[in-house]
Amino acid sequence: MSLLVKGGIVVGATGTQPADVLVEGEKIVAVLDPAYSQTVQADELIDATGKYVIPGGIDAHTHMELPFGGTAASDTFETGTRAAAWGGTTTIIDFAVQRTGEVVQDGLAAWHAKADGNCHIDYAFHMILGGVDDDALKAMDQLVADEGITSFKLFMAYPGVFYSDDGQILRAMQTARENGAMIMMHAENGIAIDVLVQQALARGETDPIYHGITRPAALEAEATNRAISLAEVARDCPLYIVHLSASQALEHVAVARDNGRNVFAETCPQYLYLTLEDQLGAPGFEGAKWVCSTPLRSKHEPHAKDLWKGLRSNDLAIVSTDHCPFCMKDQKELGRGDFSKIPNGIGGVEHRVDLIYQGVVDGQLSLERWVETIATTPARMFGLYPQKGVIQPGSDADLVVYDPNGTTRISAETHHMNMDHSAYEGFEISGRVDKVISRGSVIVADGNYHGRKGHGRYLRRGLSSYLV
């Protein structure tokens, strides 16, 4: 089965050009000058005239079906990957979980069981290490060697749940430095945060906004700097800071990168567009919709401006979503009267491509940088390049036809995520996902869904392309 995407503007990380893309089966076989593709025959033709053709998006940070706070993320691998496809994302990297006292490989097997046969798009796993001990360190080597899992997430937050102390973090970093893996870090000082939370509750400060107030930017910055220092001691272990939200934390990343360190970071759309005051501080309990960690930051401080700048300068490498959705009813409502019991998470896997394209429209990013942050760099960072993240012969035919003249209105009434609200309700995007192709199969076209559960395949990842 052959497919020709004709008449579009192909956008990649290194440039933009009019080109036609020829697909055979699941692979791209040619990127053609339009002057030379007139005689090319294909079984199916897609007219992309006036539209951009970009690599399928890669969301490198999702949490489908994650148990958290007495409930579980409301998107299954089936609903979440279908929603991702609607929004132009054709690959996710989710997090398998090991908790203290559990066997790492058992946690991985549990996540394979959740995802296998249920995904609409391709998927891979990072591994959360909630209990770093001798067995877990041996498991890191085994997962890198045998399972195609080459990144491990640690937490400086959530004491009693996922928290690792500095000694455990150092040992994991030393192991990663030997086997080539990436350490991903949730960088917040959880011990200090727990003190602030208990003090706030004791004062009767129970509304959702206090979730943000008790997780100040200074404690994100301190933990980020500490993680960078520990990685230095571990002979410059590769370090990736997840969901970075604060200017002060970004400063530490920028200094490390200026010094040539193996330090990388991502941010998320919520930190570029949403604020402590306008969303988390919404009247009554409404702000619970926007409880996530790291938290939304104040609009009276330059965080969002600095994050956009960080994306332009590559101090921030990637935009992921940290997609971890919870419904208001029966889930977020668990925290009525106690903000610390509100499940942490925002759903956004369907909207990342659009929201960052709006940054192009607003003059924050170039077209090329848009593609780089949502597709190409995630593939390179996490061992999927050049199978994913680029439009070139031999790569998987994961393509998005994006209409810059279209519009997208985000609403819970029209989104496909399994949520009863939208974090971006009413947002108007000056662009629209027109068609989505996953490994040569058209899964979104003409406002209709043509994909299927089970189409998505597990991806064994190599090591990061950014490391020498």
pLDDT of 70: 87
User: At 207, which helix (H) or strand (E)?
Assistant: none
In CATH, what is the architecture of 57-381? Alpha-Beta Barrel (3.20)
Q: What is the mean pLDDT of each run of 10 residues along the chain (468 residues)?
A: 97 97 98 91 97 99 94 98 98 96 96 98 98 97 98 96 96 98 98 98 98 98 98 98 98 98 98 98 97 98 98 98 98 97 97 98 98 98 98 98 98 98 98 98 97 98 90
Q: Do 143 and 127 touch, CB atoms closer than 8 A?
A: yes
What sign for the dihedral angle of Cα 186, 190, 193, 199?
positive
Cα 69 from chain centre = 21
Q: Do 229 and 204 touch, CB atoms closer than 8 A?
A: no
89: β partners: 57
Distance CA 186, CA 154 (A): 6
Q: Do 419 and 449 touch, CB atoms closer than 8 A?
A: no
Distance CA 321, CA 355 (A): 11
Closest by CA to 345, choosing from 158, 113, 205, 198, is 158
Burial class for 286, CB neighbours closer than 10 Å (0-12, 13-18, 19+): middle
pLDDT of 468: 62
Closest by CA to 112, choosing from 69, 65, 151, 152, is 65
Strand order in the sheet with 263-267: 57-62, 89-98, 122-129, 151-155, 182-186, 239-241, 263-267, 318-319
CB within 8 Å of 259: residues ≥ 6 apart: none
User: At 126, which helix (H) or strand (E)?
Assistant: strand 122-129
Distance CA 11, CA 88 (A): 14
Residue 465 sits at the vertex; the CA angle it makes with 464 and 468, to the nearest 5 degrees, is 95
